[in-house]
Structure 1
C-alpha cells in the first residue's frame, strides 16, 4: 500500500528542490489536478509551502515548515525494526550505540495502544550473533511470497502449516505456532510450538515451503518454554 496522496507530495517537497506542479505529477504518478488538490490540502493543514513566481518558478517546502511525524503501520514498523536488528547484529561502526536509541525512539512515536503492540512484537524478535561460516555458505534467500505470508501469520498470531526441508534434505509436514523470529545474520529462524510434537522447534526460513496460514489463533508463551537455552544465544529486539 502506497503513501496517502498528500504525504506522497509532502515527501517530494521535503527534499529542498523547487518543484513545478507538472514535475510533482510526473514523480508521484498522480494527475496534475490531484497534485494541486494535495498541495491545497497541505496548506490548509498548516504546512508552509513557498511559491517562486515568474518563469520557471515552482514550489518548495517553507524553510520554517516542519514535516509532520512519520506514521508507520505495524507492518512497516516491524520491517524497520528488522532492518535495525540486522544493522545492530552487524555492528556497523557508523551507527554504533545509536541503534538501540533509534529503536526506542521508533517505538515512542506511536500512540499508546500501538506502542504497546510494537513492544510486544519487539519481544518476539530475538537477535543473536552473526551466523557461522557454514550457515552463511548454505543460506539461501527464502521465497518472498512465503516470507510475506509468514510475516502476516506472525503479526496476527495465527497457526501455520508448511512443508519443511531440513538441512539433511528430509521433507516433513509441520503445523506450527509462529511464536518467535530469531536472527543470526543473514539467517532467519522461526521458533515455534510444533503442534504435532507438542514441543518447541526451530526452523530455518529458507527451508519452509508451501506455507498456509490457518484460521486459528494462539497465545504467546515465553521463549524459554520453547527453547530453555535461548537466553544464552539471543536477546529481545
Structure 2
C-alpha cells in the first residue's frame, strides 16, 4: 500500500512540476524542492525522469540559473485531482454568485466541460461534496470590517478534514477575543462573501455551532471520522441566508 501511495504521489508531483516549469520560467532545484516538500536529490531524479520521457527541459547554466520547460512545449490534457476539481467548481459557483457581467459568459460552458471530463465515480463524489458547500448572501458592511487574515495552514487542515469527513481539533478565537480549544465535525461550508463559515458539530459544547474560518487560529486532524448530518439539522444557523443549490 505504501509503495502504491508513493508511486501515486510521484506521478502527481511530475504533473505539477511540468506545469510549474512551463508557467514560471526558470526555477532552481532548491526552490522546487521547497515548493514540493521533498529533497533536492528527489527533484533532480524527477527532472531526469521527465527528460527520459521526452520533456524538453532547458537548463540555464549562468549565475543563479535554473531549469524550465521549453516555452513552445504544451503540457497536455488538464488532469485535476478530486480536491482540485471540487475547488475549481466551487470557484465557478462563487463567481456566478458575484454576478460579474464580465466573467459570466463562459462559466456555464466551462463547468459543463469540466464535469464531462470526470469519470462517473468522480462526478458522484463531486456532486456529494458540492451539496455540502452553500453560497449565501454577501456579508453586511459591519461584518466585513471585522474580517481578519486567515491562517493558511489551519485552512489547509480544515479543507482536508472537510473533504475526508474527519474530526478536527481547532484553536478558535471568538468575537470577544476569547480563545478556546474545540473538537469539531465540519459538516457544511457556507460563504457569505467574503467570509466562510463552518457549520459543525462542536463536541466541546455538545451542540451544533457555526465557526468563522478567519477566526480559526490552528487546526489538526484527528483519527475520528463522521457521517454528514442532513442540512435541515443546521436550519437555525442557516436562518436568514438565501442559499444556492
- Fold agreement, TM-score > 0.5: yes
Correspondence list, 1:100-119, <5 A: 100-119=108-127
Deviating more after overlay: 167-176 vs 121-130:
167-176
Matched, 1:172 2:180: yes
RMSD (CA atoms): 3.3
Cα distance in 2 for partners of 1:156, 1:226 equals: 20
When normalised by structure 1's length, the TM-score is 0.72
Matched, 1:38 2:43: no
Cα distance in 2 for partners of 1:113, 1:196 equals: 36
Counterpart of 2:216 in structure 1 is 208
Cα distance in 2 for partners of 1:59, 1:163 equals: 45
Change in Cα spacing, 1:213 to 1:67, as seen in structure 2 (3 Å) is closer
Change in Cα spacing, 1:234 to 1:27, as seen in structure 2 (3 Å) is same
Matched, 1:137 2:148: no
Q: Which one of the candidate residues 159, 164, 187 is aligned to 1:156?
A: 164
Please say if residues 159 and 218 of structure 1, whose CA atoms lie closer than 8 Å, have aligned partners that are also in contact.
Answer: yes
Matched, 1:123 2:122: no
Counterpart of 2:243 in structure 1 is 235
Match of 2:53, SS?
Answer: helix
Cα distance in 2 for partners of 1:6, 1:204 equals: 31
Cα distance in 1 for partners of 2:150, 2:103 equals: 28
1:200-233, Cα deviation, whole Å (9 max, x unpaired): 2111011112322110000011222023463751
Alpha-carbon distance, 1:193 to partner: 1.3
Larger radius of gyration between Structure 1 and Structure 2: 1
Cα distance in 2 for partners of 1:140, 1:190 equals: 16
Please say if residues 194 and 200 of structure 1, whose CA atoms lie closer than 8 Å, have aligned partners that are also in contact.
Answer: yes
Cα distance in 1 for partners of 2:189, 2:112 equals: 19
Matched positions, count = 206
Change in Cα spacing, 1:40 to 1:87, as seen in structure 2 (3 Å) is closer
Cα distance in 2 for partners of 1:6, 1:158 equals: 26
Match of 2:148, SS?
Answer: coil
1:11-44, Cα deviation, whole Å (9 max, x unpaired): 94xx9xxxxxxxx9x5797878655433379xxx
Correspondence list, 1:30-109, <5 A: 34=49, 36-39=51-54, 60=72, 69-96=77-104, 98-109=106-117
Change in Cα spacing, 1:175 to 1:229, as seen in structure 2 (3 Å) is closer
Deviating more after overlay: 68-77 vs 98-107:
98-107
Counterpart of 2:18 in structure 1 is 8
Please say if residues 107 and 118 of structure 1, whose CA atoms lie closer than 8 Å, have aligned partners that are also in contact.
Answer: no
For structure 1, the 5+ residue unaligned runs are: 16-23, 42-57
